Amino acid sequence: MRAGASRYASLVDRDAFEEALLGVMEQKQHWAWPRFTAGEVAADRLHVHLEQEYAVYVRDFPVLVARAYVQCPIAAVRRELAENIYEEETGGLVAGRPHPELFLEYPRGLGMDLARFDAVELLPGAAAYRALLDDATQARGWSVAAAVTTLFVEGTAHERSVLDPSAPPRPEPPLEEHPLVVHYGLPLEHLALTKAHRRVEGEHRAAAWRVMLEHVPAASRELVVAAMEETLAAWLAYRDDVAAAVGLARP
């Protein structure tokens, strides 16, 4: 058992496990993000954010989920993960193209040099976050791998709405109001990934929670929550580094 896991003895109770996971996800908010969406990042530095996101997890996300798949002995969970992997890797269910390829439509539409994305040098916080993702998906069992990928990486601070229809959902303004369109002139046709996410993410969110709440063994719940908290801390540090690299100072 990893250090700190004993703090979660009550997680044998499913409701407590659910609430602990929601508590982590509701902290997945970074001080700089409203400034990104307000267009405060200079256009000639926006590439840093997109490059780091791509290299840290977007490019390899299907592989990260697949690591959970190959470790899992539960057929029902493997089916949930396989559908996620198939869509992310091929776009065969909704998007029509692999999601990592669709992500590159953002920099393409913004006129960026796509060669940058072939050899991204990770910022220190980005490298640490990616190292944690690799460890969590390769060395801690399928439950942690599935939680960190399908719940934390794919999820948002609005996860409660997946389980409680009365909770505020993730905002989905019209595509014409997307920050990249409004502040940087991205043509709407390059929002293919955003469109795909809006079509598929509802089911991905529901599937992630089904896996967590119906299939993670009670004995693994402490490790899952501890790993989620560790991932949150690494993600926040990663986003701090990106904010500094694009010229945003913490208030």
- For 203-237, write each residue's pLDDT tens digit: 889 999 999 999 999 999 999 999 999 999 999 99
Q: How big is the chain, counted in residues?
A: 251
Could you report the per-residue pLDDT of 35-63, keeping only the tens digit for each? 999 999 999 999 999 999 999 999 999 99
| Angstrom distance (rounded) from CA 183 to CA 196 | 22
| Angstrom distance (rounded) from CA 80 to CA 11 | 24
Alpha-carbon distance values, 148 to 137, 143, 166, 181, 240 (Å): 8, 9, 26, 30, 20
**Residue written as tokens 């977007």?**
58
The residue with greater pLDDT, 229 or 251, is 229
| Angstrom distance (rounded) from CA 98 to CA 69 | 19
Share of the chain above pLDDT 70, in %: 95
Could you report the per-residue pLDDT of 90-148, keeping only the tens digit for each? 988 787 899 999 999 999 999 999 999 999 999 999 999 999 999 999 999 999 999 99
**Residue written as tokens 């390899």?**
60
Identity (one letter) of the amino acid at 186? L
Ranges of each domain in the chain:
14-156+174-245
| Angstrom distance (rounded) from CA 10 to CA 15 | 10
**Residue written as tokens 């200079």?**
42
**Cα dihedral sign, 7-10-13-15:** negative
Q: What is the mean pLDDT of residues 5-30?
A: 84
pLDDT of 8: 57
Return phi, psi of residue 187, to 5°: -65, 145
Task: Return the axis-axis angle of helices 75-90 and 192-215, rounded to nearest 10°.
Answer: 170
What CATH number was assigned to the domain covering residues 14-156+174-245?
1.20.910.10
119: Cβ–Cβ under 8 A, 6 or more apart, which residues?
none
